[in-house]
Structure 1
Amino acid sequence: MEPQEIIQLRQNLGWSLASFGKYFGVTAQAVLKWERGTATPNDFAMAAMIQLRNRLDQAIKEKQKQEFINGLKRALITGGIIALLTYLFNNEE
């Protein structure tokens, strides 16, 4: 993903730099570097962002954006990053 795509994804989710970073196990400063193009996400974060973007696009088309975002938050809060990734990659609602 290009820096502008990362910015757009984060803004579409309505998340701060810190909130977005939490989902990928990085700091707000790291996200800012991704968005400025001065650093590149690791392969794991990149794959997760691509999947997140695709799932969010699908949810928007189906008018289920808020439900999708709430599911992401629940997964992270209740089970951490592994639960979030399981939700993201396996939940094909």
Structure 2
Amino acid sequence: MINSKQRAYLKGLANKLNPSLQIGKEGLTENILKELDIQLEQKELIKISVLENSPVLVDEVVEDILSSTQAEFVQKIGSKLVIYRESKENKKIQL
């Protein structure tokens, strides 16, 4: 569990990130969850964009993503959300 100071630090890092994954008209699929898992292991901090044509809303998809990937919620701004999970092999972010 990350605390408020760590969350603020991660928000600052996420400012510079472009969305590395998009959830589109197919919604949250098994392939997207696998890709999320891979990206979290490589990058630790990722930004996800939920497109307008997606059948799911950002608020609905957050819990599914967090429970499936064991990641931490950092922030949600509009249709974008940022999640963090400490990498086992490629630790880059020091909290």
- TM-score normalised according to structure 1 size: 0.29
- TM-score normalised according to structure 2 size: 0.29
Bigger share in strand: 2
Higher RCO by CA contacts (8 Å cutoff, separation 6 or greater): 2
